[in-house]
A and B are shown apart, each in its own frame.
Chain A
Amino acid sequence: MVSPIYIIAGGLGAAFLLGLLPAKWRTFAYGITLATLAFMSWVAGSWLYAFAVNGALPVEIFTAGTQPPFAINLRVGLAEAALALLMTLTGLHAALYMKDTLFKQGRQAMAILLIFIMALCGVVFTRDLFNLFVFMELVMISTGGLVLLSSDQRALGAGIKYLIVSQLISMLMLIGIVFAYHATGTLNIDGMAAAHINLFKGGSLAFFLIFMAVVAELKPFPANGWGLDIYESAHPAFSALFSVATGGATLYAVDKLLLIGGAQWLPMASAIGIVTFIAANLFALVQTNDRRLLGYSSVAQIGLIFTVMGQQDILGERYYFIAGGILLAHAVAKAGLFWLSGLVKQRQLTDWAALRSQPLLVFAFVTFIALLVGLPPFPGFYAKWDLAHLLAADGRLWLLGLILFGALLEAAYLFRWFGYIIKREGSEAGLALQPMKVDATLGAVVVAWLLAYLWGQLSGHGNLLHAIPLLFALLFLPLEWLPAKVKNIMAIAGLVGWFYLSYPSYDAFQLIFAAVMLPGGALILLASFQTQQRRVGFYPAAMLMFAGLSMLIVAKGSFDFFAAWETLTVGSYFLILRGKHSEPHALSYLVFSLGGAFLILAGFALAAQGVMDFQIAALAQVAKPFAPWVFALLAIGFMTKTASVGVHIWLPGAHAEAETDVSPMVSGILLKAGLFGLFVLLMTMGKQQLYGVELTHVMLWIGAISALVGNLLAIFQEDAKRLLAYSSVGQMGYALFGLALMNHLGWLMALMFVINHYIYKSMLFLSVGGVAKRTGTREMYRMGGLITLMPLSFIATLIGIIAVSGVPPLSGFGGRWIFYNAIMTADYRLPMVIIFLAGPIAFLYLFRLIHTVFLGQLKDEFRKIKEAPFWIILPQMIFVAALMVFALVPGVALRKVDVYLSQFFAGNGHLNWEGLTISSDFGYWNPVAIMVIIGVIFSTLFAWLLFVNRKAQPVKQFNIVFAAERPFRPETTHYAWNFFAPYRKALGFLTQPLVTRFWEAVTELLHSAAEVLRRIYTGNGQTYAIHLLAFVVVVYLLWMGGSDGI
């Protein structure tokens, strides 16, 4: 093993050596630079291996042959070695990435780079306070040099701002150091820690100055304008270093300082950190320049880690796992994104659309933003989970809330950016690809996945990258070159096969959901045979969603549950984003879903009270003060997914704009995940009261209003798919209502809904999608008379409508029947009335699908239209058959479940199953008999109609004469346009987009707050120095106030 001191000696020696070389030997100088950086990385790496794998003890390096505190000593342990490896590797990649620039600037630039990396390692290794100062100054000065490598002239201004601020920082630090030395009689960090600096007169104040100086290097809000300017204008490879290496080293320096200061300084760290995290993320919302956005994001991430540092008193042994996880995720992602930014020519976020021509780079981008946001299976996800649990266990809920809020902001702007890449105009000309740069970026992707695996291993929750469904989904990434049809076969086989394998382990309740999600998904995938070519991106996304779903239903622990939840959220987001106009809708879906997911996380964390492997079943034992809150958090989280009123606004756009075969998936299948969550919640926690309010009663109301509002909004839609989407809001309201009834029949009905809604909503979306595909429009009034041209689609729609509206004889009626029985056993009158009201409204909009689309007159342009493609029709026909069977013998599925549910409502209200007849306390239901009776009535009426109309004469379409002027808006003259105008007059006040307006106002408020507040960054370097001074003074005053004087 080579002593780690050679990292410093080597870097320094090589830098001096470069000065000896003739200026012309650039290649040689470059070779030395690379070799030195590689050597430094190798030393750091070998020590990391020794510490991590062989369990070596930290190495103490005494300089000058004298023991500390009398000479400077360095220490290298696991954390130091890891950071050193991170920094040297980033440095090596930066050298590779900046090859052109380094060649142009010559050996001097290379020497500066080497010293920069060496000094960062020094900052991490040293255990001497003044030595820390020296290394920090070296970092600062070399930063001043490296900034100038940029081809952007504005970097000059950024550099001088940085130097001005640094002067201030150095002064504070020097004064602090000398007084701290005076107080403790030593400069050694461990010696000072042992001396308890706060006990000395003037000691805390001295420490305060040092602390402020080092913290200022972390770019805390608002003293960070200079940092952002550097991020925006420096060479991207240096910005990466500045974010990753400088950030990491400074954070570690702060960590060492906190040893000296002790626990009393931790709250200050957290406070500064969280303010920075939220402010930077807020400002990033309105940022359009890519590198400045990355700068804000860097500042935010470092603020987050600083917050975590301030919590180390409660994090215990998980501290390095959490802080390290976030730090490494930030480092790899930020380096990767900055490197990626060097491949894009223009600096607006929308210019990144050029990346779209390179799927590999898009994948790299996704990896990086997933790392930053902390999505599974990346380290940030595990860190977020542990952090939330430990914070909640200690009652630091405010902080948890703020962290999650900031994380949501960050996710919003990162995924909006991703939306730009996928959806905006861009051509390959916007890229400046160079093999070396691309390799560096892809290297970061590899490291990201390795870290994901490593953190999974270390997490103690089980490695998500060992989960077979997830691996199966990821398998589609390398197979993207295959034709879509082959991949489709694989996907179907995967879903069915996994269902087959897991079948024995499901209980009755899980089976219902599994059946809908896995074979149900396979059925819808049949429609995907319709697509041509490779369909890049579809299968990984879809299979990610299905992986999440299949993991969700078997999750025993809360961690597995949450991991599955986030997986399916992300997968479905990618899926929805594929629609032609779905960019804003996919984003709002993601933001709502992640917001919901964070509530779920908070709920689980609160419930667990520090237990890391919390079982879902243990929700039942959550004690009093927390229980109702846990219930509320989880319920709202799940209701976000079922799009209950209030958080429903994402649904219509997301479902309507998705691709033809995606709409049924996200509507028919994905919504059930929310219902599953609600089921699990109610099964375990039952009724909860908060301030005397019965929470299930609140859910009942939400369900009823969702049903009413969803249906009302649906009747006024012109767009067939939007109509179906709003109808889902209403349908989910029914299901929620049934669940919240908290009785046997209510739950049975909700379960029946799971199956029914899947079948008819998938069917309707497919048939409407097929029609839309043929006609090229989704506006219903543009269609009409398609019954003869698309008879199969018509049949599917007709059957679907009968099923949805709950009229006999199809299974919808069965649902209704159970439902009304369920209501009879509960005693909530008013919501019941609302629910009853919603029923006929559903009929109004469903009727339009038939009436406007398939009946009436055929439009001229559609005269030659053909039936929908075979692969879209096939699943519909299967659904029709399934509906028939389910209508005739609902017992097949429900009977077992009925028994299963009995355990929750012992001996109370379950159904009696005798042969084909089902009876309850209020009556009986014989599906077969009903079917026969309805069949007889229908055929009689039909025959009679035929008889009456036997002399009717068919009128040809064009034997009417059009006259008069051409209307300004032709659709206004169409009879089916604004069909329910009278109802709108009567009930329109109920359909005011209040909720939409509310959420728009929230978004607007955030954006304008950011727009106003970021004006503090005036661009004047002097103002930035004043910010820093003000920051110090304000913190000082707050601290004095908080500690009643020292």
Chain B
Amino acid sequence: MIRRFAVFLLLLALGSIFVNLLMGYVPDSELNLTARYYAEHTAQDIGAANIVTAIVITYRGLDTLGEVTVLFLTATIIGMVLSQGQKHRALQRQLPPSGELLTTGSRLLVPLILLLGAYVFLNGHLTPGGGFQGGAIIASAALLLLLTDPLRRFSHRLISVVESVSGLVFVASGVLGILYAGGFLDSRILSTGTFGALFSAGVIPVIYSFVGLKVGAEFTSMLTNLAETEQS
């Protein structure tokens, strides 16, 4: 009880910090220096219609590389932790069969979901979306499959190859940026192409595709690993 009260008081104080922030907040009416630069230069410099994507992959590409690494790291840790000490853990109870609806539905939906995912990451530089969103969509297909058949196992080997290759491509394209363009992670090692076209914005679509694959693979790997812990 005392704990609850203390927490309440502390959160009240934290809330007052937030209120102060909120009171001090004045929405911008003009874009600030940084945003203005992106608004003005993205189209001609990077050639991506989706400015957020240009920022994510190019201007702040190092963040994104870090972000991809976070997922890789998490998937690796989960793999490392959960693979210990439970090699042959057989399911002990009989699972109730998945419903007809779920089975058939997933058979129908999975290819569509995969397709949508691929679409989202391939067009990340043009429309809302991108590698992370696409990857998450792809992983949702895996989730659906796991829901349908909790005992389904995906190939760890395949997943880790996809993961690693995509990561290496990202790093390698970054390094190519030093050699052939303006610096690490400069997306202009390929031509920026026609503004608005699928094959434009330099290496962004390539990177985002690999990010999509990678994110999809990593989420799948996490899901699979967590699913494999099902034992009771």
Any A CB within 8 A of the CB of B146: no
**Alpha-carbon distance A1036/B19, docked complex (angstroms):** 14
Any A CB within 8 A of the CB of B108: no
Any A CB within 8 A of the CB of B172: yes
Tell me which residues from 861 to 897 in chain A have a Cβ below 8 Å from any Cβ of chain B.
none
Check A1029–B14 contact: CB distance below 8 A.
Answer: yes
Check A112–B172 contact: CB distance below 8 A.
Answer: no
For chain B, which range describes its interface: under 10, 10 to 19, 20 to 34, or 35 or more residues? 35 or more
Interchain CB contact (< 8 A) of A131 among B18, B66, B160: B66
Binds B, one of A138-146, A360-368, A409-417, A793-801: A138-146
What is the minimal beta-carbon distance from A7 to any residue of chain B, in angstroms?
11
Check B171–A9 contact: CB distance below 8 A.
Answer: yes
**Alpha-carbon distance A456/B227, docked complex (angstroms):** 59
Write out the residue numbers on chain B whose beta carbons fall within 8 Å of the beta carbon of A1033.
10, 13-14
**Alpha-carbon distance A72/B7, docked complex (angstroms):** 38
Check A131–B63 contact: CB distance below 8 A.
Answer: yes
What is the minimal beta-carbon distance from A181 to any residue of chain B, in angstroms?
8
Write out the residue numbers on chain A whose beta carbons fall within 8 Å of the beta carbon of B196.
none
Nearest-neighbor residue (CB-CB) of A1022 within chain B: B3
Check A112–B80 contact: CB distance below 8 A.
Answer: yes
Check A64–B185 contact: CB distance below 8 A.
Answer: yes
Nearest-neighbor residue (CB-CB) of B54 within chain A: A64
Nearest-neighbor residue (CB-CB) of B168 within chain A: A16
Check B60–A131 contact: CB distance below 8 A.
Answer: yes
**Alpha-carbon distance A106/B34, docked complex (angstroms):** 44
Write out the residue numbers on chain A whose beta carbons fall within 8 Å of the beta carbon of B37.
70
Interchain CB contact (< 8 A) of A138 among B14, B28, B66: B66
For chain A, which range describes its interface: under 10, 10 to 19, 20 to 34, or 35 or more residues? 35 or more
**Alpha-carbon distance A224/B17, docked complex (angstroms):** 23
Write out the residue numbers on chain B whose beta carbons fall within 8 Å of the beta carbon of A111.
72-73, 76
What is the minimal beta-carbon distance from A250 to any residue of chain B, in angstroms?
17
Tell me which residues from 61 to 76 in chain B have a Cβ below 8 Å from any Cβ of chain A.
61-63, 65-67, 69-70, 72-74, 76
Check A206–B21 contact: CB distance below 8 A.
Answer: yes
Any A CB within 8 A of the CB of B199: no
Write out the residue numbers on chain B whose beta carbons fall within 8 Å of the beta carbon of A145.
73, 76-77, 80-81
Binds A, one of B97-105, B121-129, B175-183: B175-183
Check B24–A16 contact: CB distance below 8 A.
Answer: no
**Alpha-carbon distance A130/B3, docked complex (angstroms):** 34
Given A185-B33, A185-B34, A1033-B14, also A9-B21 (CB < 8 A)? no
Any A CB within 8 A of the CB of B20: yes
Interchain CB contact (< 8 A) of A20 among B7, B62, B161, B177: B161
Write out the residue numbers on chain A whose beta carbons fall within 8 Å of the beta carbon of B41.
70
Given A138-B66, A185-B34, A202-B25, also A20-B58 (CB < 8 A)? no
Interchain CB contact (< 8 A) of A201 among B17, B24, B60, B160: B24
Given A15-B72, A19-B163, also A134-B77 (CB < 8 A)? no
**Alpha-carbon distance A61/B60, docked complex (angstroms):** 13
Write out the residue numbers on chain B whose beta carbons fall within 8 Å of the beta carbon of A72.
59-63
Interchain CB contact (< 8 A) of A175 among B21, B38, B58: B21
Tell me which residues from 96 to 121 in chain A have a Cβ below 8 Å from any Cβ of chain B.
105-106, 108-109, 111-112, 115, 119
Write out the residue numbers on chain A whose beta carbons fall within 8 Å of the beta carbon of B7.
1026, 1029
**Alpha-carbon distance A13/B164, docked complex (angstroms):** 9
**Alpha-carbon distance A135/B18, docked complex (angstroms):** 26
Write out the residue numbers on chain B whose beta carbons fall within 8 Å of the beta carbon of A1026.
3, 6-7, 10
Check B77–A148 contact: CB distance below 8 A.
Answer: yes
Q: Could you list 22 A-B pairs, sorted by A, with CB under 8 Å?
A: A9-B171, A9-B175, A9-B184, A19-B167, A62-B183, A64-B58, A64-B177, A64-B183, A64-B187, A66-B182, A69-B34, A70-B59, A108-B80, A115-B72, A138-B73, A142-B77, A148-B77, A182-B28, A185-B32, A186-B32, A201-B26, A1037-B13
Given A16-B167, A131-B60, A138-B70, 17 new contacts (CB under 8 A): A5-B178, A12-B69, A13-B175, A62-B182, A63-B61, A64-B187, A65-B182, A69-B33, A70-B59, A111-B76, A115-B73, A134-B66, A134-B70, A142-B77, A145-B73, A1026-B3, A1029-B7
